[in-house]
Chains A and B, each alone.
Chain A
Amino acid sequence: MSDIRICNISYSYTPSEKALRGVSFCIPAGCFCGIIGPNGSGKTTLLKCISGYFTPDEGQVLIDGKDVACFSTREIAKRMALVQQHASLEYDFTVMDIVLTGRNPHIKRMRSETEADYAIAHNALECAGIHELKDRLLTTLSGGEWQMMILARALCQQADIMLLDEPVAGLDIAHQVGIMSTVRRLAAERGISVVCVLHDLNLARAFCQQIVLLKKGMRYAEGTPDSVLTKSNIEHVYGTKVNIIEQDGQKYILPVIAG
């Protein structure tokens, strides 16, 4: 179980414009935290700062009180798993090959995977519900199957933090819900802290316990889904009118489409 503290971080790609401006918040251990905001608001930049891939110009990210910048690559890999947006890989590896790479941080250089590593990989495939895909080639996978494989790779890592960068972008609704449900179930079972960049506000409301809303690199709002995803917050940040409707006790955000 790991808690993450983001302390006043700023980051800029070019000297003239800051992508992140003094963002602070805490993610308690085992929490499912969503990061939302318009395109270009700094969501992915924030995630890359949390993972230590970018070093903030100011401020720091603390994991269990330790600065991420001080972690070695191997430590990073043992603590944090990453699930990126779907991108294909034109090499003929099998699904099992890729899932097994999740064991790499735990294996010494020049050593092969042991029986135990294989057992963990099989278990990860089963948890993701794709054990029957294990011998399939990457080049034959659909987008949804691919993301499930990456999820299995992340589980195989046995890290207690999972970072997801738009994990369901471009997938059909069944896979969107399937992947998000799987992440939430496994995170709860294993006490994994999740930080997930999302575009879909309804998915964010349904799956996250905590939501951070960014606007132009600044934290606009932070808190529970109900407190953050209000009509006025969304209209203010996204600049578009929305209706919030309620059905079967669930709230849904719908954009108002003119004409």
Chain B
Amino acid sequence: MKQLRSKNTRITFTVMLPLGIAAFLAAFLLGSSGVSIGELIRLIGGTAERSTAIIFFNLRLPRALLAFVSGGALSISGACLQGMFKNPMADSYVVGVSSGAALGATVALAFSAQLAFLGFGAVTILAFMGALFAVFLVYNLAKIQGKVSTFSLLLSGIAISTLCSALVYCIMILYRDKMEHIVMWTMGSFSSPSWDKVVVALPPMLVASVLCLVFAKDLNIMLQGDEAARHLGVDSGKVRRNLIVITTLAAASAVSVSGIIGFVGLIIPHILRLILGPDHRRLLPYSFFGGGIFLLLADTLARIVLDSQEIPVGVITAVVGVPFFLYLLRRGKKVAK
């Protein structure tokens, strides 16, 4: 089994590396106002036309970076949360990130809030704050006598999410003219990339992803139960608290610049767990790169699949990702038997 695992790891690595490069190339080259390979090479040489350079540097590159790092951050966060809750359904969204962000964004869109900070619109800022506030609320509601159990956290996550969704619907009914904007935002998209977004959202996502790796071994040990973990030198409560802060930072940053992109945090870690086994020291880094590649490819598809307009990337991740995931899940079960 051990040999099989390390063989699978080698295969995954040799598949992922060229796939990652291909995903970036596809993101640069494909699309309505195309940049050809020749132009890309000239671009590196600094002799490309100005219009090509503008498309590449102002649109394609920041968009690709945002999609890749958001996918990675959502995926590594999902892997951490599934590990620490010992629950395959967990990701950042179950503790309130998505619904809090949706409520924040909805408020901004409905009231056409005139708020700006570091060149960001009200939607980004309020989405980020909404996500943080929702998780803060969920965490404190779940805290009973200073301890946070998995059960109470997931349940208060569901409760707060439901409440936020209800408020979103309520605002949508009251401000029907803004309904389309709100719906489009909640489906997630990278359609308005900018370097401001890259500069502000990328560092927290990258830092949070690296910090997740610090807790990889603790997560392995926590699977054995809180009390057992304590006797193996791991304070599960403390690790959980730290990881909630870290993963919320990552997911809230991703959501605030791109809207709610579901499934990445669920599917990618699961697929990799089936292939690589449950060791988080291996699972977490591969989840980051796997999630990044997946979302970058999905975003490219979202751009090019229809001539007339873009499809929300959240739709692509679901339509493409879910059948593949279900196939692997069923095949994995058969192998296990």
Q: Does B223 contact A (CB under 8 A)?
A: yes
Q: Which residues of B contact A84 (CB under 8 A)?
A: 225, 227-228
Most buried by B among A87, A101, A135, A137: A101
Closest to A82 in B: B231
Please tell me if the beta carbons of B214 and A109 are within 8 angstroms of each other in the complex.
yes
Q: Does A125 contact B (CB under 8 A)?
A: no
Band of interface residues on A: 20 to 34
Count residues of chain B with CB under 8 A from any CB of chain A. Answer: 21
Of the stretches A23-31, A72-80, A176-184, A250-258, the one at the interface is: A72-80
Contact with B along A85-126 (1 / 0, CB 8 A): 001010111101110011011000110000000000000000
Closest to B336 in A: A139
Question: A206–B234 Cα gap in the complex (Å)?
Answer: 35
**Looking at the complex, which one of B1, B2, B223, B233 makes contact with A104 (CB distance below 8 Å)?**
B233
Interface SS of chain B: loop
Q: Does A157 contact B (CB under 8 A)?
A: yes
Q: Which residues of B contact A92 (CB under 8 A)?
A: 1, 277-278
Q: Does B58 contact A (CB under 8 A)?
A: no
A91 and B278 in contact, given A101-B221, A104-B221, A105-B233 (Cβ under 8 angstroms):
yes
Q: Does A238 contact B (CB under 8 A)?
A: no
Contact with B along A44-64 (1 / 0, CB 8 A): 000010010100000000000
Question: A91–B88 Cα gap in the complex (Å)?
Answer: 12
Please tell me if the beta carbons of A73 and B224 are within 8 angstroms of each other in the complex.
no
> What is the distance, in angstroms, from A140's C-beta to the closest C-beta of chain B?
10
Q: Which residues of A contact B214 (CB under 8 A)?
A: 109-110
Please tell me if the beta carbons of A89 and B234 are within 8 angstroms of each other in the complex.
no
Q: Which residues of A contact B278 (CB under 8 A)?
A: 91-93
Q: Which residues of A contact B235 (CB under 8 A)?
A: 73
Q: Does A187 contact B (CB under 8 A)?
A: no
Q: Which residues of A contact B234 (CB under 8 A)?
A: 73, 77, 104
Please tell me if the beta carbons of B217 and A104 are within 8 angstroms of each other in the complex.
yes
Question: A76–B236 Cα gap in the complex (Å)?
Answer: 14
Q: Does B331 contact A (CB under 8 A)?
A: no
Q: Does A212 contact B (CB under 8 A)?
A: no
Please tell me if the beta carbons of A98 and B224 are within 8 angstroms of each other in the complex.
yes
> What is the distance, in angstroms, from A99's C-beta to the closest C-beta of chain B?
11
Question: A94–B6 Cα gap in the complex (Å)?
Answer: 13
Question: A54–B227 Cα gap in the complex (Å)?
Answer: 10
Q: Does A81 contact B (CB under 8 A)?
A: yes
Q: Does B196 contact A (CB under 8 A)?
A: no
Q: Which residues of A contact B231 (CB under 8 A)?
A: 51, 76-77, 80-82, 157, 163
Please tell me if the beta carbons of A82 and B228 are within 8 angstroms of each other in the complex.
yes
Q: Does B220 contact A (CB under 8 A)?
A: yes
Q: Which residues of B contact A137 (CB under 8 A)?
A: 1
State which residues 226-269 of B face A: CB under 8 Å.
227-228, 230-235
Please tell me if the beta carbons of A74 and B279 are within 8 angstroms of each other in the complex.
no
> What is the distance, in angstroms, from A46's C-beta to the closest C-beta of chain B?
14
Q: Which residues of A contact B223 (CB under 8 A)?
A: 89, 91, 93
Question: A137–B1 Cα gap in the complex (Å)?
Answer: 8
Question: A102–B234 Cα gap in the complex (Å)?
Answer: 11
Q: Which residues of A contact B232 (CB under 8 A)?
A: 77, 101-102, 104-105, 153, 157
Closest to B235 in A: A73
**Looking at the complex, which one of B1, B230, B277, B336 makes contact with A73 (CB distance below 8 Å)?**
B230
Please tell me if the beta carbons of A135 and B225 are within 8 angstroms of each other in the complex.
no
> What is the distance, in angstroms, from B2's C-beta to the closest C-beta of chain A?
6
State which residues 179-198 of B face A: CB under 8 Å.
none
Question: A119–B255 Cα gap in the complex (Å)?
Answer: 47
Closest to B217 in A: A104
> What is the distance, in angstroms, from B234's C-beta to the closest C-beta of chain A?
7
Q: What is B's interface to A at a CB cutoff of 8 Å? A: 1-2, 214, 217, 220-221, 223-225, 227-228, 230-235, 277-279, 336
Sample 9 A-B pairs with CB under 8 A, ordered by A number.
A51-B230, A80-B231, A82-B227, A89-B224, A92-B278, A94-B2, A101-B221, A104-B221, A105-B232
4 tightest A-B contacts by CB? A105-B233, A77-B233, A82-B231, A91-B278
